[in-house]
């Protein structure tokens, strides 16, 4: 059975230590206020998309260990289809949020998804990073994301096959500046437009910009105090894809994605911050966003039945 969107990025288990007053320096110990375990990596985008009403899948190897059992159970509870294979160990990240940002330490066993695993779910759209673009099924809409390592590679002259197939390139401001050599986000978006027809640059507490059809759009973030910014970019991607697949225009899809990412930083862990569609609409209304026309139409049709 085909699905709306598949995330082709490695899933992690995030081990979060909220409540730190500051990050420990070498040789120091700091005490956290809590300890939380949650789905991370590609699972964040897949879960966010599912909570927004898309049929969603995660294509990622997951370990035959306790962390893998936790991930599989979490995905099943969220209605996310898992497309992958069982490997020896699951990737894990320790997350230390402090001072509105966070530090992370990661164990990655080095397993990768395959093109066959991604194609098995027959996705209408795929979220995948630059090195994995070549794995996307022909005909699927591509939402191309960028990691820190990807940005450094582009800056060093590496060309990733398949970027020209991407529907949109989604990159954070620091990575955009590094990749383009530009001095500001707007100039970076224009330079990166040589790679993809649309470029979105996320700017953290300042929101995001999008260059589409030669026009630059901007959406401002909501003024929430950041408790944990982990996964905000992943949830931005999920909401952007949801709005885009639903037929939203450039500014509308950008604004909804910014609202969704802004809401996520209010609590610890990305999954806890991934709100449902009803909550997103309620919060959007508080900040001047009307319920999208396509959802109003669906609601009217359902009431008529």
d(CA 240, CA 221): 14
Q: Where are the domains of the chain?
A: 3-22+33-300
DSSP 22-56: SPPPTT-----S--EEEEEEHHHHHHHHHHTT--E
Written as six digits, the tokens of 217 are: 């759009």
d(CA 188, CA 178): 9
Which residues lie below 8 Å from residue 175, measured CB to CB, with a gap of 6+? 146, 147, 148, 150, 151
Written as six digits, the tokens of 181 are: 């050599």
pTM (2 d.p.): 0.92
Question: To which residue do tokens 């030669």 refer?
Answer: 214
Question: To which residue do tokens 């990575």 refer?
Answer: 175
State the CB neighbour count (10 A cutoff) for residue 132.
Answer: 23
Question: To which residue do tokens 């066993």 refer?
Answer: 109
Q: What is the pLDDT of residue 298?
A: 39
Q: What is the pLDDT of residue 299?
A: 37
- The continuous run of DSSP H or E covering 88 comes out as none
Q: What is the pLDDT of residue 194?
A: 93
Q: What is the pLDDT of residue 295?
A: 63
Q: Which of 1.10.150.120, 3.40.1190.20, 3.20.20.70, 2.102.10.10 is the CATH number of 3-22+33-300?
A: 3.40.1190.20
Q: What is the pLDDT of residue 279?
A: 95
Written as six digits, the tokens of 225 are: 């105090």
d(CA 154, CA 144): 14
β-bridge partners, 170? 145, 200
Q: What is the pLDDT of residue 97?
A: 87
Residues 42 and 7: beta-carbon distance below 8 Å: yes
Q: What is the pLDDT of residue 294?
A: 64
pLDDT tens-place values along the chain, 305 residues long: 689 999 999 999 999 999 988 899 899 999 999 999 999 999 999 999 999 999 999 999 999 999 999 999 999 999 999 999 999 999 999 999 887 778 899 999 999 999 999 999 999 999 999 999 999 999 999 999 999 999 999 999 999 999 999 999 999 999 999 999 999 999 999 999 999 999 999 999 999 999 999 999 999 999 888 888 889 999 999 999 999 999 999 999 999 999 999 999 999 999 999 999 999 999 999 988 888 776 644 333 333 33
């Amino acid at each position: 059975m085909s699905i709306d969107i598949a995330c082709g990025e490695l899933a992690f288990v995030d081990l979060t230590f909220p409540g730190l007053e500051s990050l420990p320096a070498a040789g120091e110990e700091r005490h956290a206020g809590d300890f939380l375990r949650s789905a991370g990596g590609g699972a964040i985008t897949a879960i966010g998309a599912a909570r927004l009403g898309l049929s969603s899948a995660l294509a990622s190897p997951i370990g035959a260990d306790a962390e893998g059992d936790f991930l599989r159970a979490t995905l099943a509870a969220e209605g996310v289809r898992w497309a992958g294979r069982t490997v020896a160990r699951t990737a894990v990240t320790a997350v230390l949020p402090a001072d509105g940002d966070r530090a992370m330490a990661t164990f990655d066993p080095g397993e990768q998804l395959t093109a066959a695993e991604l194609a098995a779910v027959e996705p209408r759209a795929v979220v995948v990073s630059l090195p994995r673009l070549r794995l996307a099924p022909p005909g699927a809409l591509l939402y191309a994301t960028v990691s820190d390592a990807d940005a450094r590679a582009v800056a060093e002259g590496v060309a990733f096959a398949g970027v020209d197939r991407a529907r949109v390139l989604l990159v954070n401001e620091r990575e955009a500046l590094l990749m383009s050599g530009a001095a500001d986000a707007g100039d970076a978006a224009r330079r990166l437009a040589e790679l993809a027809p649309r470029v979105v640059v996320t700017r953290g507490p300042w929101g995001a910009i999008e260059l589409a059809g030669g026009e630059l759009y901007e959406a401002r973030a909501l003024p929430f105090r950041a408790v944990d910014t982990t996964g905000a970019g992943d949830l931005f991607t999920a909401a952007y894809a949801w709005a885009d697949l639903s037929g939203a225009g450039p500014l509308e899809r950008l604004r909804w994605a910014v609202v969704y990412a802004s809401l996520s930083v209010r609590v610890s862990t990305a999954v806890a911050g991934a709100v449902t569609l009803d909550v997103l609409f309620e919060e959007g209304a508080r900040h001047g966003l009307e319920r999208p026309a396509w959802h109003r139409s669906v609601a009217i049709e359902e009431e008529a039945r």
